[in-house]
Amino acid sequence: MNAVTAVEQALARLTSAEPKLSAFNTVTAERALDRARALDAAPSGGLLHGIPVALKDNMCTAGVPTTASSKILSGFVPPYDATVVKRLEAAGAIIIGKTNLDEFAMGSSTENSALGSTKNPWDLTRTPGGSSGGSAAAVAARVVPIALGSDTGGSIRQPAALCGITGMKPTYGRVSRYGLLAFASSLDQIGPFTITAADAARVLQVIGGFDARDSTSAPEPLPDLAAALTGDVKGLRIGVPRAFVGEGVDAAVLAAFEAALRVFTARGATIVDIELPHAGYGIPIYYLICTAEASSNLARYDGVRYGHRARLQKDDTLQQMYERTRDEGFGPEVKRRIMLGTYVLSAGYYDAYYLKAQQVRTLVRRDYDRAFEAADVVATPTTPTPAFKLGEKTSDPVQMYLNDIFTVSANLTGLPSISVPCGFAPSGARGTGTGEPDAGSRLPIGFQLTGRPFDEATLLRAADAFQRDTTFHLEVPALAEASTSTTVMAHQPEGGPIV
């Protein structure tokens, strides 16, 4: 197979899956085929040579619209590439499209998109999670073997869990955010969706490492991640915060989580009890901090330099232009967060809310510092429940936020964290939303490992070891063809690295 064939096959899979999933905002078919022809003529030798990839539509692509699934960016065509785009392409990858997200990555279901909601490939009446739901659905449906997402409070790991694939948020600073549309700058991080942990290692090897264009980029050297995948977890201490995990978690999720721990102990890892006494405060402090940062970051969308501008009357003022443009351009959840963030930063409320949240953030960090004295990684379920129904939580913001209870801590602390498929729950009786459930469908479950700063290697080693003994990550939703190849290795055309 050559790169052109790889791209043609991916586009064919996209064409058949897309009417059901609505995972893509933009498909770059011609551009991808041009690039594939060039790569076939001059093989890149790169780690991702000829691999079709999808990008969450909040990463800038020169000459290709970038919308953040928001009306306020309608018509915006970036004049430059994000660093991750440059690095993927330098490694021989081929971008076939931009994927749907909750507007500006604000949400947990991809329903807050101005372009319509994406569906879960395992059950089309349910959400794929969010905010990177389009990227997760595209990989889960085997349209592409790799997609990038961004994770501010769980937006890679949560949809990975709900779609039955592997998703990783690297350490804060590990992957350059140059060209990522900012949501909450002390929390945002780019990372991969893949089928296997081994592929996640490959993608992180390509996109990770210092970038002078991002002032929060970390200088820590990136180790050889493929070499870390030894299968050896003997003596690995897996910390489990029992009190935290016990609360409000679906029985099927808990059972799958416990079974996952047994896979590790059978390979020689040990389970240790740890305490994270402040982790339960993660959601309130996350929503105070991320909204404060968002209210500042999104001030740039004012109808002057790019995107939507409201139609004005002759005597309208500049202030009216700003206010009307922003009211027309932003959707309800984005406005809600800008409003909350503006409030908690305003005079008289700053100390009570924003400063207080930052102090509790310190307490959460100390919890993890202490946990890593006794454990090498921390394990929890990724989400408290499997995928929920479309429409089930849209009217109650707090219920939607609670879905992120296990994921926000890694963003607040900056720690690397990975979600790995570990089971399925029956779809039948779950949820209360509208729509007919797919008969007999199953819903994926994921667990999450969180590691020390810049120790993605240990997370990937553990996740890869788990995947050597399990096949949950290889299960394919009925919507995708069972014969569809799944991993980078199975996709890679000739002209890639010599392995």
Partner 1 sequence: MSTLSRQDVQRIAELARLELTSEELDLFTRQLGDILSYVEQIRALDTTGVEPTSQVMNRPVDRDDVPGATLTRSELLGNAPDAAPEAGLFKVPRVIG
Using CB under 8 A as the binding rule, whether residue 279 contacts partner 1 is answered as: no
Residues 285-314 interacting with partner 1 (rule: CB under 8 A): 285, 287-288, 295, 299, 302-309, 312
Nearer to partner 1, 325 or 467 (CB): 325
Using CB under 8 A as the binding rule, whether residue 374 contacts partner 1 is answered as: no
Please confirm, yes or no, whether 20 is among the known catalytic residues: no
| Min dist. Cβ of residue 309 to partner 1 (A) | 4
Residue 399 CA to chain centroid, in angstroms?
20
| Min dist. Cβ of residue 322 to partner 1 (A) | 4
| Min dist. Cβ of residue 411 to partner 1 (A) | 9
Taking alpha carbons only, the member of 295, 334, 290, 360 closest to residue 352 is 360
Stretch that binds partner 1, among 231-239, 260-268, 334-342, 385-393 (CB under 8 A): 334-342
Q: What are the structure tokens assigned to 276, written together?
A: 């994270």
Residue 467 and residue 307: Cα distance in Å, rounded? 44
DSSP code of residue 436:
P
Give phi and psi for 435, each to the nearest 5: 100, 150
Residues 378-407 interacting with partner 1 (rule: CB under 8 A): 396-398
Taking alpha carbons only, the member of 312, 318, 309, 323 closest to residue 72 is 309
DSSP code of residue 27:
E
Q: Which helix (H) or strand (E) holds 445?
A: strand 442-451
Find the radius of gyration of the CA atoms of the chain.
21
Nearer to partner 1, 27 or 322 (CB): 322
| Min dist. Cβ of residue 375 to partner 1 (A) | 20
Q: What are the structure tokens assigned to 346, written together?
A: 């305003």
Question: Sign (positive/negative) of CA torsion 205, 89, 483, 475?
Answer: positive
Residue 362 and residue 428: Cα distance in Å, rounded? 42
Using CB under 8 A as the binding rule, whether residue 492 contacts partner 1 is answered as: no
Number of amino acids touching partner 1 (CB under 8 A): 68
Stretch that binds partner 1, among 81-89, 99-107, 338-346, 436-444 (CB under 8 A): 338-346
Nearer to partner 1, 200 or 298 (CB): 298
Give phi and psi for 446, each to the nearest 5: -130, 155
Among residues 113, 117, 132, 155, which one is catalytic? 155
Taking alpha carbons only, the member of 197, 195, 247 closest to residue 385 is 247
Residue 227 and residue 295: Cα distance in Å, rounded? 42
Residue 201 to residues 3, 170, 222, 475, 488, Cα–Cα distance (Å): 22, 11, 11, 20, 11
Interface with partner 1 (CB under 8 A), residue from 237, 267, 335, 370: 335
Residue 319 and residue 148: Cα distance in Å, rounded? 37
Please confirm, yes or no, whether 56 is among the known catalytic residues: yes
Using CB under 8 A as the binding rule, whether residue 222 contacts partner 1 is answered as: no
Please confirm, yes or no, whether 155 is among the known catalytic residues: yes
State the alpha helices, DSSP H only, in 141-250.
Answer: 157-163, 197-207, 242-245
| Min dist. Cβ of residue 239 to partner 1 (A) | 20
Q: What are the structure tokens assigned to 71, written together?
A: 């009306």
- 407 in the Ramachandran plot: left (φ > 0), alpha (ψ -120 to 50) or beta? alpha
Using CB under 8 A as the binding rule, whether residue 372 contacts partner 1 is answered as: no
Residues 57-86 interacting with partner 1 (rule: CB under 8 A): 75-77, 79-80
Stretch that binds partner 1, among 351-359, 421-429, 440-448, 489-497 (CB under 8 A): 351-359
Interface with partner 1 (CB under 8 A), residue from 90, 266, 355, 474: 355
Interface with partner 1 (CB under 8 A), residue from 279, 357, 476, 488: 357
Stretch that binds partner 1, among 145-153, 157-165, 202-210, 321-329 (CB under 8 A): 321-329
Among all residues, which ones are annotated catalytic? 56, 131, 155
Residues that bind partner 1 (CB under 8 A): 75-77, 79-80, 172-173, 186, 212, 215-216, 218, 278, 281, 284-285, 287-288, 295, 299, 302-309, 312, 316-324, 326-327, 330, 332, 335-336, 338-340, 342-343, 346, 352-353, 355-363, 365, 396-398, 412-414
